[in-house]
Structure 1
């Protein structure tokens, strides 16, 4: 007697092939996994499975992976296109592999999936039962050469788990004896919506602050699948930053973005991450790089930022030979000062960037500067400390110390505390890089701040270190000297004597205004 719930769609069109049996096998696998015939009509499948996964001991991770593998096999078997269903040998090989993984974990402990829910699987695990059924088909299929026309290997295309889709889903299974495909929403569609077997994604979402961040206005929470589509499987690599990799991506509305993945994130850093993302989304300014959203289903959160086509200030100053006119450099200095001033004066509660350096200033298509990565300094400092402690090479440790010394003042080095005035100091170091086009540490162990300060103290001038590309005329040299004076003010050892970022911005704007007036008068002569 035929039971409609086990029949492939092509059966009703009069087409019967071995691929139809594969479809039926998929239905059986799903029954084994879900215990569908044991459910009452009103039982909530999502809640039931979530409870099982939450109650699973640490030793049960292997079994949860088996459930995931078997689910993917079942979905592939029930593909509506017979040609996309997997061959039986492929199914057996995969079940064998996951069964061996289970056996290797059983030494000294009971690790049967039945422990998670005894009523679900009584004496046999799901992969054992599924394997027995599959093997019962293999003899007939091997004897029929035409099978290859009907049974082709399917692709592993199960959707990624999405908490946003699962949270409000109330999936219910039919009464015993009825087709599990008979309801308005097919069982296959239910599985795709549930994806309850992605236990790791659910855990990561919660650990990374998902329950709170999903309610942050204007912040998009991307799924892992969406990130893969946005980056085309990380096909366009932009580079490796100080704390992770960056890939180019395109949102569904054709907005170009930069997708940043962190190398690591400890539990302490994770707690800080949630606060940082919440804060970052609140800041809206032309000189702040826009944060579109993040992906929280992965071990280490992924951030989706506005794409800065010209890279970082570090790249354009020291990684290329692109000509940078003096006026452009002044504009970059003023724009950067505006961004930092905005953070320091935000809503009567200053926001500290914590890592002010050219690496964290990005340039758009018009070379307008935009600060990024602010607030992540606590994460960065923890990583720097780990690197210093882990490094066995004295030279490596010294180099790491040198790279940081040029941007931080003595107060920070002693206390480790970031303040507005310590960030003014860091900005002064950036001004020196703009007018000299020398890196923070150059000629091996020369620190730019130290060398410029010594030069200025000798003759009240930094002319000998100016970038010769832009120090060609008297007007240019005068403007460079003025910028150098602002930098020296920012770099004063006593933090109380340093200007704040509002004063710095105003001084730079005055230099630009005076320069424009001077050039205007010169052209009239």
Structure 2
């Protein structure tokens, strides 16, 4: 009897061990097959490339914010991997496909913008557009005649390497008219290079604080609306949503039509980080105090930064020049926001519109992130302000026409009485 029980126990144990072994073999077999099929597919699509160029070109940016379905189809391959998992992979085909940027043969890419041309050009650039933790940004004209901004990673930049990875991954799947377009990138011979569409009017920060060009109230209101649309796409249109994490006037760029685009996604995080503990990153003066105190990154952190930008548009006071103190004093003063209005706007704007924009900006800066409005709500308020402004001349014109008709009627009536 005991022998029979022992045999049964041995049989069960052996069966379990065999089942576990078979399960492991199946699991690793499936993983091997997926890797093999991916590499086979990549090989069949063409030669690997170090500089993929986006098909929609330099001056175009497709807007998928109106269709969530389109965004899902664009990013369904992105959701299944960790944002930086591709970087440890040696296959450049894998790198290109995971970033979402189309691949081409090296011969085709070289005809548009070769690695050698970029490296030679960056050594001879005399026009520097900016300098950051990533490296230097240059202005260049490619062989096709297109003007671009070339961001070259500094060889000693530790933070820039990670930012480079994030930019390629995110901008490979983010497409909106109010986001700066990544034209291409280069990973070759130790070089890390990003190529963007050129924004001829520079950054909002330069225009507000250092540029010779004066921004009208109409332009500032349109810039605010453009920024809100860009953030709204990141928060509500992108799949998965993205927290920018470094919104500031220096990262808002303007094209030749003075339309604003959000730039610099090196510090951005996907929605998975919303409400999670995250290393403190950003720019002093724009960072959400709640994020500083809790290290928890949320979408409302972007809302706070946008509120600061809105007050910059109203006051032309930089956050490093005690903007928050001025805002606090204005809130207690009888004149309110009127007292710190940018001098260029005095008597050149509708003060009621300025006050309405200041009200929503104040809400963006609320101490409690939960009580701050969503970017969709902020965008609607700015749009209503702008629409009222557009309709006001029409209503004013109709009113003047009615007054003229009344005057003509009175004149005709008086003439009729006199003739009688």
Which shifted more, 414-423 or 350-359? Answer: 414-423
Structure 1 residues 405 and 231, CA, compared in 2 at 3 Å: closer, same or farther?
closer
Decide whether the 8 Å contact of 2:137 with 2:151 is kept in 1: yes
CA distance in 1, matches of 2:165, 2:383: 36
Structure 1 residues 240 and 312, CA, compared in 2 at 3 Å: closer, same or farther?
same
1:521 paired with 2:412, answer no
Q: Secondary structure at 1:508's aligned position in 2? A: helix
1:302 paired with 2:177, answer no
Decide whether the 8 Å contact of 2:162 with 2:266 is kept in 1: no
1:360 paired with 2:360, answer no
Decide whether the 8 Å contact of 2:247 with 2:305 is kept in 1: yes
**Aligned with 1:343 (options 234, 244, 258):** 234
1:465 paired with 2:347, answer no
Which digits, 9 at most, give the CA deviation of each residue in 1:359-392, with x for residues without a partner? Answer: 11100000100111124358xxxxxxxxxxxxxx
1:440 paired with 2:319, answer yes
Q: Secondary structure at 1:282's aligned position in 2? A: coil
Structure 1: segments with no counterpart, 5+ residues: 1-161, 166-204, 379-400
Structure 1 residues 318 and 298, CA, compared in 2 at 3 Å: closer, same or farther?
farther
Decide whether the 8 Å contact of 2:48 with 2:92 is kept in 1: no
TM-score scaled to structure 2, two decimals?
0.64
Structure 2: segments with no counterpart, 5+ residues: 1-46, 51-86, 270-280, 401-420
Q: Secondary structure at 1:305's aligned position in 2? A: strand
TM-score scaled to structure 1, two decimals?
0.52
Who is 1:118 aligned against?
A: none
Which digits, 9 at most, give the CA deviation of each residue in 1:433-483, with x for residues without a partner? Answer: 1011121222xxxx212321331144472110001221316x611111111
CA distance in 1, matches of 2:356, 2:307: 13
> Which residues of 2 match residues 185-264 of structure 1 at below 5 A?
210-215=92-97, 216-218=100-102, 224-228=115-119, 233-241=124-132, 243-263=134-154
Which of the pair has more CA radius of gyration?
1
Who is 2:351 aligned against?
A: 477
CA distance in 2, matches of 1:229, 1:435: 43
**Aligned with 2:216 (options 317, 321, 325):** 325
Who is 1:284 aligned against?
A: 175
CA distance in 1, matches of 2:191, 2:359: 43
CA distance in 2, matches of 1:269, 1:241: 9
CA distance in 2, matches of 1:467, 1:208: 53
Who is 1:177 aligned against?
A: none
Decide whether the 8 Å contact of 1:248 with 1:258 is kept in 2: yes
Structure 1 residues 327 and 272, CA, compared in 2 at 3 Å: closer, same or farther?
closer
Structure 1 residue 164, shift from structure 2 partner: 4.0
Structure 1 residue 499, shift from structure 2 partner: 0.5
Decide whether the 8 Å contact of 1:361 with 1:372 is kept in 2: yes
> Which residues of 2 match residues 53-452 of structure 1 at below 5 A?
164=49, 210-215=92-97, 216-218=100-102, 224-228=115-119, 233-241=124-132, 243-263=134-154, 270=161, 273-299=164-190, 301-377=192-268, 404-442=283-321, 447-452=322-327
Who is 1:139 aligned against?
A: none
CA distance in 1, matches of 2:94, 2:393: 54
CA distance in 1, matches of 2:224, 2:155: 32
Structure 1 residues 274 and 163, CA, compared in 2 at 3 Å: closer, same or farther?
same
CA distance in 2, matches of 1:288, 1:505: 16
CA distance in 1, matches of 2:91, 2:160: 12
Decide whether the 8 Å contact of 2:153 with 2:191 is kept in 1: yes
Structure 1 residue 277, shift from structure 2 partner: 1.0
Structure 1 residue 270, shift from structure 2 partner: 3.9
Which digits, 9 at most, give the CA deviation of each residue in 1:239-289, with x for residues without a partner? Answer: 324542111122332221100113357678645643441221211111011
Decide whether the 8 Å contact of 2:303 with 2:374 is kept in 1: yes
Q: How many residues align?
A: 297
